[in-house]
Chain A
């Protein structure tokens, strides 16, 4: 923790609060009609939303949503991307050619356009958001894993393992993946930031989490309608989103410095 400063602490708080927040005795769907659109005060720290639900409770629920979605999507993407990328680079030839083409085709869809189309076609819901973002997410990891493997596969220790008759699976698992894990970990950190924004974006468009479940994105969308009377409905989830994304990005920067990796890691873009 000491290495990662306050960004690390914020992330720790984010994860802790997301999980512990669910244990609080707050019903996030409880409606207090007299409190509709109430601004924050000493009793209710973050006020109430347009239906009279406590914003604090919904913020915590949304926090868990982005935690679950981002970690699931990044885990699936890293595993799929790494397997495909290393295998295709190690195998070479026709396999590699096909994988590179497929990567190129997926990269041809700018930003989260493909995810928007997929989520739109598959229909709303958190599981479809995870599917849509994973379909888009593996590509970056596959490209990185492939590039790294290409630069490593002619190293002496790999050649030695080959000469000793080591199985391909073992060479990849024992001799290649450990060496490419540092850049992948850094890319995964930026990936978390990108997925948090993408999930919120899809939910903002109404393609993500469905009511009454909470997401920071749908909170911003619902709040935008009441901006003049109750700006806290947009500011609260927006600030939470920004602080978490900023911390993840800072952590990624810090990891890159600590691990001293020179790669073309792209920032979480949106």
Chain B
């Protein structure tokens, strides 16, 4: 177990270092001179030099990277060009909203996916299976920037049940969470169906049935726990879809999270903020996945053993 932990940890550190370098390089991809782009054509020479100095763009690139990482380790993500406040405090302020939305969406997607996947698996090849999988395919194919406006049209504008956008209490979270959760639910329900189908063919399921347990009891207490492992991995991986999709969903609903901050910063050409947001979202994704891997190994002894040999 310790060895598994160490190998996962070291590869995670390497990936995080790579992500930091890539995000750092982003500012050098700005076409032309980033300082010109940020200040506009008519800026004073002295202002340009001051910004160049502040961003450290006048130093060699290797040295810039080292400074960047050094600052990162102290929690310093630089300063917003627009509001002159520190990027880390801006992000910290927005992070809870994104986290809240992600967790509720995860819950929503589980509430949709588990019944859908279970019904499909238990009725394999029958009409219910086709309906459930049709719904899931529809969910994969409907992008959140379409689902979001459609939900607003139906529930906010026509029926007037829920607020159009913004963040004000529980009601305002319903539509964004459904929008974000649907895509995940679609993928998740397919996975639940296929793993459950595999498990249902196992001998111990037949034994449980043979000793007279009810079908529902067997599915819930014998089949589902054994089907959970791949589902947990998928949940970790799909959290990325949630975090990435949050950028669009938050923009649709004006949800004051990191995704909206990213897009606002891109519009304002506030590159340090863009870098900070991208960095935070990807690093949280990497860490969640590392955790899922470790938990997976901890739950499933086969992985631990396989790792040791």
- The stretch among A24-32, A55-63, A119-127 that forms the contact with chain B is A119-127
- The stretch among B44-52, B120-128, B213-221, B244-252 that forms the contact with chain A is B244-252
The yes or no answer to B29 lying at the interface (CB within 8 A) is yes
B150–A122 touching, CB < 8 Å: no
Complex Cα spacing A120 to B15, Å: 23
- The stretch among B83-91, B139-147, B195-203 that forms the contact with chain A is B139-147
A121–B245 touching, CB < 8 Å: no
A227–B152 touching, CB < 8 Å: yes
Query: Beyond A105-B19, A220-B146, A249-B141, is A207–B266 a contact (Cβ under 8 Å)?
Result: yes
- The stretch among B62-70, B281-289, B300-308 that forms the contact with chain A is B281-289
The yes or no answer to A104 lying at the interface (CB within 8 A) is yes
Complex Cα spacing A201 to B14, Å: 31
Minimum CB–CB distance for B117 against chain A, Å: 15
Q: Which residues of B contact A161 (CB under 8 A)?
A: none
| Residue in B29, B143, B153, B247 with the greatest tally of chain A CB atoms within 10 Å | B143
The yes or no answer to B22 lying at the interface (CB within 8 A) is yes
B145–A227 touching, CB < 8 Å: no
The yes or no answer to A269 lying at the interface (CB within 8 A) is yes
Minimum CB–CB distance for A122 against chain B, Å: 6
B263–A205 touching, CB < 8 Å: yes
The yes or no answer to A111 lying at the interface (CB within 8 A) is yes
B244–A121 touching, CB < 8 Å: no
Q: Which residues of B contact A267 (CB under 8 A)?
A: 140, 186-187, 190
A205–B251 touching, CB < 8 Å: yes
Query: Beyond A109-B278, A205-B263, is A220–B19 a contact (Cβ under 8 Å)?
Result: no
Complex Cα spacing A245 to B143, Å: 9
Q: Which residues of A contact B229 (CB under 8 A)?
A: none
A109–B19 touching, CB < 8 Å: yes
Q: Which residues of A contact B141 (CB under 8 A)?
A: 193, 242, 245-246, 249, 268
Which residue of chain A is the closest to B187 with respect to CB atoms?
Answer: A267
Minimum CB–CB distance for B157 against chain A, Å: 5
Beta-carbon contacts under 8 Å, B168-193 to A: 183, 186-187, 190
The yes or no answer to A169 lying at the interface (CB within 8 A) is no
Partner of B244, one of A105, A112, A235: A112
Sample of 7 A–B contacts (CB below 8 Å): A105-B19, A110-B285, A121-B266, A205-B263, A227-B149, A238-B149, A270-B241
Given A204-B248, A269-B140, 18 new contacts (CB under 8 A): A104-B11, A109-B285, A110-B240, A111-B245, A112-B247, A117-B266, A224-B152, A224-B252, A227-B157, A238-B146, A242-B142, A242-B143, A249-B140, A250-B137, A267-B140, A267-B187, A269-B187, A270-B144
The 3 A-B pairs of least Cβ separation, nearest first, read: A111-B244, A110-B240, A105-B18
